[in-house]
């Protein structure tokens, strides 16, 4: 298992033509703190679970401090939204740091969700509300436990900064 600074980030997506993404930097988050840490997800990326005890752990997974070799970007893609095909969608509140290839030669994408505005944010503040983050975290772990392939969350980082939708 690796320490945080030993994680081997790569980003195959960043080697695609630039029309597939926008390079962005996370928006700093004041006084981030760790809400939850998923030791099982840490194993997927060969991260030593003791690293969650570091005083600066929340700084890294809030986007305030980037891990070595991270190449933050917001992905651009097409898909269906609200029943219609939309030729240009994108990560409105997710910033991909890159991929980590683990000891089993698996590639795991590491992404910050709620880490600030991207070019695809559609008038939002690019943040994530804690209640919906917890819901996504729990649902993805429940789906995984049921044998349904899904994304996994390493951690939830919180802050007392308000999140804006229609109101704070």
| Residue pLDDT, tens place only, 38-55 | 999 999 999 999 999 999
Tokens 């269906």 label which residue? 80
Q: What is the pLDDT of the chain when averaged over all its residues?
A: 92
Angle at 100 between CA 144 and CA 44, to 5 degrees: 35
* Helix ranges (DSSP H) in the chain: 39-44, 57-62, 130-145
Inside any domain, residue 143: yes
In whole angstroms, give the CA distance from residue 123 to residue 108: 30
Percent of the chain past pLDDT 70, that is, above it, reads: 99
- Say if 121 falls within a structural domain: yes
| Assigned domain for 149 exists | yes
Question: Contact 19/25 with Cβ under 8 angstroms?
Answer: no
Predicted local confidence at residue 32, as pLDDT? 96
Residues 6+ apart with CB under 8 A from 17: none
Domain containing residue 76: 4-158
Give the pLDDT confidence of 125-162 residue by residue, as tens digits. Answer: 889 889 999 999 999 999 999 999 999 999 999 999 98
User: Is residue 167 a part of any domain in this protein?
Assistant: no
* pTM of the model as a whole: 0.89
Q: How many domains, in total, are found in the chain? A: 1
Is 163 within the bounds of a domain?
Answer: no
- Whether 41 is covered by a domain: the verdict is yes
Tell whether 164 is covered by a domain.
Answer: no
């Amino acid at each position: 298992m690796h320490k945080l600074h030993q994680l081997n980030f790569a980003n195959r997506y960043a080697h695609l033509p630039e029309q597939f993404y926008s390079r962005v930097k996370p928006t700093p988050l004041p006084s981030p703190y760790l809400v939850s840490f998923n030791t099982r997800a840490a194993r997927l990326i060969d991260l030593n679970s003791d690293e969650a005890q570091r005083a600066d752990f929340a700084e890294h997974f809030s986007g305030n401090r980037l891990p070595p070799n991270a190449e933050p970007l917001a992905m651009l893609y097409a898909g269906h939204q609200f029943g219609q095909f939309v030729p240009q969608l994108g990560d409105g509140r997710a910033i991909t740091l890159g991929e980590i290839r683990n000891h089993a030669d698996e590639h795991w994408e590491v992404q910050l969700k709620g880490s600030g505005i991207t070019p695809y944010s559609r008038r939002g503040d690019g943040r994530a509300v804690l209640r919906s983050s917890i819901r996504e975290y729990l649902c993805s772990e429940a789906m995984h436990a049921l044998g349904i392939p899904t994304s996994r969350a390493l951690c939830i980082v919180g802050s007392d900064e308000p999140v804006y939708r229609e109101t704070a």
